A and B are shown apart, each in its own frame.
Chain A
Amino acid sequence: MAKVEVKVCLGTTCFVMGGSNLQELNEIIPQKYGDKVELNAANCLGLCSINWEYSKAPYVKVNEAVVSEATVEKVLEEIDKQLGN
């Protein structure tokens, strides 16, 4: 089965809007999914400036799906969905 790729945005906007809490994923994901999920960080994904008035940072990408106003729970939910759990 193909790996799920998770990209956490650590750009300034995402970081101050709550992205800092997402660093927990670093521990949770390997524990929970082993090597089924690959976790990466990214600099500004460019999402926060597109529609900035309605910015829903922090953003996380799970494969091509964008999780906005991301929390640890929301990201795990999306991973589960993509893994078909």
Chain B
Amino acid sequence: MFIDIACSQKKKYNQNAYGDYFASNRFPNMNRIVAVLSDGLGSGIKANILACMTSTMLLKFMENHSDIEKSCEIIMNSLPVCKVRGISYSTFSAIDCFDDGNAKIVEEGNPDFIWIRGGEVLKPEYQSIQSKDFKNRKMKVYNIKLEKYDRVIFCSDGATQVAMGSKRYPLGLERSGLIKIILEKLEQEPEISSKNLSEYLVKQIELIAPNRELKDDTSILSIYCRDPRESLIFTGPPFHGEKDNYYAKTFMEFKGKKAISGGTTANIISRELNIPVIAKLSMNSGKLPGLSEMEGVDLVTEGILTLTKTLEYLENGNAEENAAKTLMDFLLDSDVINFLVGAQMNKAHYDPNLPIEIEIRKNIIKQMAKVLEEKYLKKVNVQFV
């Protein structure tokens, strides 16, 4: 079972820092994933610091299986105290989850998480733990067993309290309102990815907010248990030309989604398997060469330039509409990503007069694998051929 996890956030209107903070880590060897969503007191940079400290510390404690109660006391004791209100405060939700479905969830102050199975909301039991040093703080600890196709949604109170005081939502959207939106969406799109679901929900919440101005930072953390989606990206001509045919076949026989990143690579596969590749002279591709088409392959892009841009987009999180964005979406829509990297020096690029240093495919892929693993929590395999 694969745990598809994604978080989408929107700042409070007119603030320039996020007051909610999401941190997570996947341990592919242990089939384990740990994630924390924290909401700092207030908004802006102060809240950001509180939330960021809480998330990162808690994540570390959980990773090391420290006693959760003690960890939380330590965190609360170490948060800076707000001068105005005289308190230090950040709420959080944390999950420690294994591929077999065993999960531990700890919540403090955030709205109760929403657990959905087959269109129904489950009501799990929990243990309540009172903080020793902080009288008003109580943690809820759940030990649950997730099954395939289950969904778990965490949110900050910005989501449930949106539009509070308005005619339509005097008490805000509330957890029940959020559940309604989620269930409706799941009925339309039962297989929607965590990324798309969380983005959709944040968008909806923004639409509900009067004048579309969010009064509080809003975050949705979505988890979806499902079969992993695999993809294979072939980039660069194989080192030993006589193996071209073998790798072209290996590529085509792959069961998941397939992409080729590199014109020469596409030409090789086209030649070996006798499938035409059609380049497209598209107008709006801007500073990057456009896409090509090849039967049986989901995506064909140019190589180095596109990969470089894609890496940049993956690192920064925002992208323009072009081939690199298409490739980025392709990658983010997969859980297990395999790169087949041809290590042959591309003769076409070995020109000292070229304006950019271009023989950098290996490094780009290595960096890309790192971002995909660390920032997007994907499982990545890289094979040089």
User: Which residues of A line the B interface, CB within 8 A?
Assistant: 8, 10-13, 15-17, 19-20, 23, 25-27, 39-44, 48-49, 52-53, 55
Contacts of A40 in B (CB 8 A): 279, 281
Contact A11 B281, beta carbon cutoff 8 Å: no
Q: How far is the CB of A7 from chain B (nearest CB, A)?
A: 9
Contact B277 A43, beta carbon cutoff 8 Å: yes
Interface locus among B36-44, B93-101, B349-357 = B349-357
Contacts of B350 in A (CB 8 A): 52
Q: Does B358 contact A (CB under 8 A)?
A: yes
Q: How far is the CB of B5 from chain A (nearest CB, A)?
A: 35
Contact A11 B290, beta carbon cutoff 8 Å: no
Contacts of B194 in A (CB 8 A): none
Q: How far is the CB of B85 from chain A (nearest CB, A)?
A: 55
Contact B348 A12, beta carbon cutoff 8 Å: yes
Contacts of B266 in A (CB 8 A): 43
Contacts of A20 in B (CB 8 A): 287, 289
Q: State the 9 A-B residue pairs at the shortest beta-carbon distance, nearest first.
A: A43-B263, A41-B281, A41-B279, A49-B347, A10-B289, A49-B348, A11-B263, A44-B263, A13-B348
| A52 nearest CB neighbor, chain B only | B351
Contact B351 A11, beta carbon cutoff 8 Å: no
Interface residues of B in 256-315 (CB under 8 A from A): 263-264, 266-267, 277, 279-283, 285, 287, 289-290, 292, 302-305
Interface residues of B in 78-96 (CB under 8 A from A): none
A-B contact pairs, 17 of them (CB 8 A): A10-B289, A10-B302, A11-B289, A12-B358, A13-B349, A15-B305, A23-B282, A23-B283, A25-B281, A40-B281, A41-B279, A44-B267, A44-B348, A52-B350, A53-B351, A55-B351, A55-B353
Q: How far is the CB of B235 from chain A (nearest CB, A)?
A: 12
Q: Answer whether A52 and B348 are a contact pair too, CB < 8 Å, given A15-B289, A16-B305.
A: yes
Contacts of A39 in B (CB 8 A): 281
Q: Answer whether A43 and B355 are a contact pair too, CB < 8 Å, given A11-B302, A12-B304.
A: no
Contact A27 B351, beta carbon cutoff 8 Å: no
A40 to B92, alpha carbons, bound, how many Å?
Answer: 56
| A25 nearest CB neighbor, chain B only | B281
Contacts of B304 in A (CB 8 A): 12
| B356 nearest CB neighbor, chain A only | A16
Contacts of B358 in A (CB 8 A): 12, 16
Contact A11 B305, beta carbon cutoff 8 Å: no
Q: How far is the CB of B42 from chain A (nearest CB, A)?
A: 47
Q: How far is the CB of B178 from chain A (nearest CB, A)?
A: 45
Contacts of A44 in B (CB 8 A): 263-264, 267, 348
Q: How far is the CB of B278 from chain A (nearest CB, A)?
A: 8
Q: Answer whether A48 and B267 are a contact pair too, CB < 8 Å, given A11-B302, A55-B353.
A: no
Contact B264 A13, beta carbon cutoff 8 Å: no
Contact A10 B281, beta carbon cutoff 8 Å: yes
A25 to B264, alpha carbons, bound, how many Å?
Answer: 23
Q: How far is the CB of B210 from chain A (nearest CB, A)?
A: 44
Contact A41 B290, beta carbon cutoff 8 Å: yes
A41 to B266, alpha carbons, bound, how many Å?
Answer: 14
| A20 nearest CB neighbor, chain B only | B287
- Encode contact with A along B331-354: 1 for CB under 8 Å, 0 otherwise: 000000000000000111111011
